[in-house]
Homo-oligomer: A and B are copies of this chain.
Amino acid sequence: MSNGQLQTLLTPTPEEGFKLAVKLAQKGVEVTQPSEEIRGMLRPVYSTDADSLISVSQVIAIYFQTVAFANNYWIL
């Protein structure tokens, strides 16, 4: 993603696919709360709350499913 724009779902490696999934999860939050300042204030809350962290991990998992499928699971 350049300038926050999603260009492609293809990534050269699973690791980069995972990173893309993380970015997509964040992007979903950003569209709903565009203020970087407010998101910054919320970060200490959810990043120290176990249940919030688990929920974030779940959103990443759903995006990773999409990204992994798009990349045919990086199987050559």
A-side interface size class: 35 or more
Tell whether, in the assembled complex, residue B6 and residue A18 are in contact, meaning their CB atoms are under 8 Å apart: yes
Tell whether, in the assembled complex, residue B7 and residue A14 are in contact, meaning their CB atoms are under 8 Å apart: yes
Tell whether, in the assembled complex, residue B9 and residue A15 are in contact, meaning their CB atoms are under 8 Å apart: no
Q: Secondary structure of the A side of the interface?
A: helix
* CB pairs A–B below 8 angstroms (29 shown): A6-B13, A6-B14, A6-B17, A7-B13, A8-B14, A9-B73, A18-B24, A22-B28, A22-B31, A25-B57, A28-B60, A31-B60, A32-B47, A33-B47, A33-B48, A45-B50, A46-B54, A50-B52, A52-B54, A54-B59, A57-B59, A58-B58, A58-B62, A59-B61, A61-B62, A61-B63, A64-B66, A66-B68, A69-B69
